[in-house]
Amino acid sequence: MRHSGVRRKLTRVLLVLLVLLVCGGQGSHAAKLDRARLEADGVVIGEIRIYAGDVFDLDRPDENRFVYRLANRLHVETREGTVERLLLFKVGDRYTEQAITESERLLRTRHAFYDAEIRPLRLKRGKVVVEVRTRDIWSLRPKVEFGRSGGKNYSGLSFEELNFLGLGTQLSLGYSSNVDRESRFLALKAPQIGHARWEFDVLAANSSDGHNQRIGLIRPFFALDTRWSAGFDALDYVHREQRYSAGEIVDRYQEDRSGVNFLAGWSPGLIGDLTQRFTFGATFDERLYSAVEPIDGIGTSYLPEDRKLVYPWLGYELIQNRYIIERNRDQIGRTEDILLGWHASTRLGLATGSFGADRRAWIYAGAVSYGDRPNDAQSWLLSAQLDGRLESDGVAGEIATIDGRYDHRYNDFTTTHVSLCGQIGENLDLDQQIALGGDNGLRGYPYRYANGERSALLTIEQRFYTEWYPFRLFRVGAAAFADVGQVWGSTPEGEDHLGVLRDVGFGLRLANTRSGRGRVIHIDIAHPLDGDADISSVQFLISTEERF
């Protein structure tokens, strides 16, 4: 009997060891799961496990605190169904890395998530189990904006809900004030309606000088392999516009703009590493201009010409599937998806009197970009854009823009960033203005300081990224910079003759990691080295930007 009991105990121990061995083997297999082999073998997805993480990770001791636990309780988590509807794969599909990586990118574009990760977890009965992990942001927030750039202040107070009821719907209500106007607005955007891929957005804003109303419904090319797209949008816009010279308002007029745009598109999908898209549509674009009563002695001196363009158009787009993932580039401590392959688009339309237009004109637009990362330390990106009209007496309202950037990364926390931007205008409409100043890159100078028909701007920044993470809310960075710019050509008020303008400065960067929009707060101090003697020798700027 005693030997029988010993044998039973030994049998149990052997069974436990066998179970541990099998489980350990499965765990090892999961850790070494070969993604390429899964795709090559045509393995089918048998299960999708979704973990929609809350704002704060309570498994981390530095986030498992009362304030963070309370924030999680008050926050409505993203529903698993909301995440599942965004994925480009479902149970029963064959496993492909393209669907996995592109689904990650798609999730990261949504303002409801801080980050997203998708991976094959393990094999179960010959099918792969896929795990989807997301991290929510705090979606309901009062938004207080304030800033100063180019010697001008702006402010705003709004309430935003970026993930209403965990469905991904965005609601906002607020007030803003800047150098041009005061506005009160209400906006709604549904990035995805149910299981369909339709997006709906509407904006209603009343301002001190007019209103802005917009509505749109579109099924976009949401993925590289999407085969069709369709939609429309409509705009009703009335505002007082202002022209500047040497940072001061010199002219005012009112613009009344209305427009409707319909589009449809088709694509053969992703073939190799290229996606081509063919689109067509029709556009109604009317702009009427009128004089305004003087304010502080400045009214209307020059009035743009009214124009009414009604035209059908054809479009084409080419995308090369060559994305890279980086961190500490234009954000701090956040995953960034960067397209370095070819991306080109073009659109051509013909407006004639038979369609209701007030002139015969070819309307054209095009853009192209390409980049590369020759090694882990260096990357560059070039882009060009052209928009304009070809009318009976020649080119009108044409602006060509060329942008280039180069980044040299010394380590994970230090990068030299260089950017060069040039703009060339041809027979510009009076409502078009090429300007440089504290509001668009020439940080040591007043708002829209230099104006003309052509411009060039060179920026050199030494960027510093840190691991400092105060209150688990903001990541901290810094920058030292120098800007060099010049504007050429005349305006209705004459030519500026300001020559080359230079500035130097430094600033602090605060990246809000709990905000779905990935905003970066800039606090800069800049010193102008040129310009008129009457401008301030120190420009203090506070702004909220989308990039570092």
Residue 258 has pLDDT above 70, yes or no: yes
Which of 14-18, 140-144, 218-222, 494-498 shows the lowest per-residue confidence on average (mean pLDDT)?
A: 14-18
Q: CA 102, CA 84: separation in Å to the nearest integer?
A: 14
Q: Residues 113-131: pLDDT tens digits?
A: 888 999 999 999 989 999 9
What is residue 14's predicted lDDT score, i.e. its pLDDT?
46
Question: Would you say 67 and 77 are in contact if contact means Cβ atoms under 8 Å apart?
Answer: no
In CATH, what number does 140-182+220-545 get? 2.40.160
| Whether the predicted pLDDT of 293 surpasses 60 | yes
Higher pLDDT, residue 298 or 195: 298
pLDDT of amino acid 440: 86
Confidence at residue 515, expressed as pLDDT on a 0 to 100 scale: 67
Per-residue confidence at 321, pLDDT binned at 50, 70, 90? Answer: very high
Q: Sign of dihedral through CA atoms 328, 330, 336, 342?
A: negative
Over 50: is that where the pLDDT of 20 sits?
no
Which tens digits make up the pLDDT trace of 353-410? 999 999 999 999 999 999 999 999 999 999 999 999 999 999 999 999 999 999 999 9
Report, as an integer, the average pLDDT of 74-101.
90
User: Residue 29: pLDDT above 50?
Assistant: no
Q: What is the pLDDT of residues 322-338, one digit of tens each?
A: 999 999 999 998 889 99
> What DSSP string describes 306-320?
PEEEEEEEEEEEEEE
> CATH 2.40.160 residue ranges in the chain?
140-182+220-545
Is the backbone of residue 196 left (phi > 0), alpha (psi -120 to 50) or beta? beta
**Within the chain, which residue ranges are assigned CATH 3.10.20.310?**
33-136
CB 232 within 8 A of CB 261: yes
Paired sense of beta strands 169-177 and 434-436, if any: unpaired
Give the Cβ contact number of residue 97 at 10 Å.
12
* Residue 37 reports pLDDT greater than 60: yes
Give the Å distances, CA to CA, from 157 to 144, 173, 211, 279, 404: 5, 9, 18, 39, 35
For the cut 70, the answer to whether the pLDDT of residue 148 exceeds it is no
Q: Which helix (H) or strand (E) holds 200?
A: strand 199-207
User: What CATH superfamily is the domain 33-136?
Assistant: membrane protein fhac (3.10.20.310)
CA distances, 501 to each of 487, 526, 533 (Å): 9, 13, 13
Grade residue 146 by pLDDT with cuts at 50, 70 and 90: low
Give me the mean pLDDT over the 138-145 stretch: 65
d(CA 131, CA 122): 9
